[in-house]
Amino acid sequence: MDKILHQPLGGNEMPRFGGIATMLRLPHLQSAEGLDAYNMATGAAPFDSMSVADIGDVAINTFNLLDAVRIIEEAYDEILEHNVIPMTMGGDHTITLPILRAIHKKHGKVGLVHIDAHADVNDHMFGEKIAHGTTFRRAVEEGLLDCDRVVQIGLRAQGYTAEDFNWSRKQGFRVVQAEECWHKSLAPLMAEVREKVGGGPVYLSFDIDGIDPAWAPGTGTPEIGGLTTIQAMEIIRGCQGLDLIGCDLVEVSPPYDTTGNTSLLGANLLYEMLCVLPGVARR
């Protein structure tokens, strides 16, 4: 039986301010036909190639972080039974840990492309082992990552010690501080990244605060001197050809997003991720 190729609700079928609010205006339960969406820059035709849908929100426990982490892990265990590539919108960066745990059960150790202003490798925060700033230290300790195939891009901000980013380097990560990205295209960097993280399954985790506050003000810990939106697009487009088995876009915080443009940016970056998933046709 043919798989159903869901299509985003077209702007000429329903005005853009109308219709159900879903990820990429995709159907929740209904199928739609006769519409394609193309990435005009890369020619990618994602909705022509795969069956994409919004499967709703995970009902977390908002009062207990550890329980929320448990709920997310169980939800992704269930999701991954269906052999899908999960694309997740956060939520703070804590959510990547339970997702990586579920991913590990299915795919084993994975490579990682991690865009962020912060390394998120603290040992603890206020005494807690699980928090949005400890995600990738826990992931390493739990053996979820293939450390030689990990890249962190966009790191900056003040640190508590001069060695803050060195923990990452000691694990074998390639750390690309923001200063290394200033004033240039990241297309050449991505050639190096593909070389580094290729050869196995890769997870893409994009913290919106990797991008400079001019483009992404709506986040909890903005840091100056960050990536441009164009560089963000170059990073994601530069992931084409990798064996992406999941991705997320985290730390968009609507109350701080006074113009709504951070949400718009997040939605667009998710669309760009969709366009580089394995199996997407290019016209």
Of 167-196, binders to its own copies (CB under 8 A) are 177-179, 182-185
Interface region with its own copies, contact rule CB under 8 A, candidates 14-22, 76-84, 143-151, 242-250: 14-22
The helix/strand/coil state of 214 is coil
* Chosen residue from 4, 32, 38, 85 binding its own copies by CB under 8 A: 38
Interface region with its own copies, contact rule CB under 8 A, candidates 75-83, 95-103, 105-113, 157-165: 157-165
Token pair of 262, please?
Answer: 């951070």
HSE value, Cβ hemisphere, 13 Å, CA-based, for 118: 24
**Which residues 109-138 are close enough to bind its own copies by CB under 8 A?**
122, 125-128, 130-131
Q: Does 33 bind its own copies (CB under 8 A)?
A: no
CA distance 93 to 68: 13
Long-range contacts of 157-162 (CB under 8 A, 24+ apart): 157/117, 157/118, 157/223
Residue number with CB closer to its own copies (2 or 57): 57
Interface region with its own copies, contact rule CB under 8 A, candidates 57-65, 97-105, 135-143, 239-247: 57-65
Is residue 232 within 8 A of residue 271, CB to CB? The reply is no
**Which residues 211-270 are close enough to bind its own copies by CB under 8 A?**
212-215, 217-218, 221-225, 229-230, 233, 255-256, 258-261, 264-265, 268-269
* Chosen residue from 22, 171, 240, 263 binding its own copies by CB under 8 A: 22
- What does DSSP assign to residue 124? -
The helix/strand/coil state of 174 is strand
Is residue 203 within 8 A of residue 110, CB to CB? The reply is yes
Residue number with CB closer to its own copies (29 or 83): 29
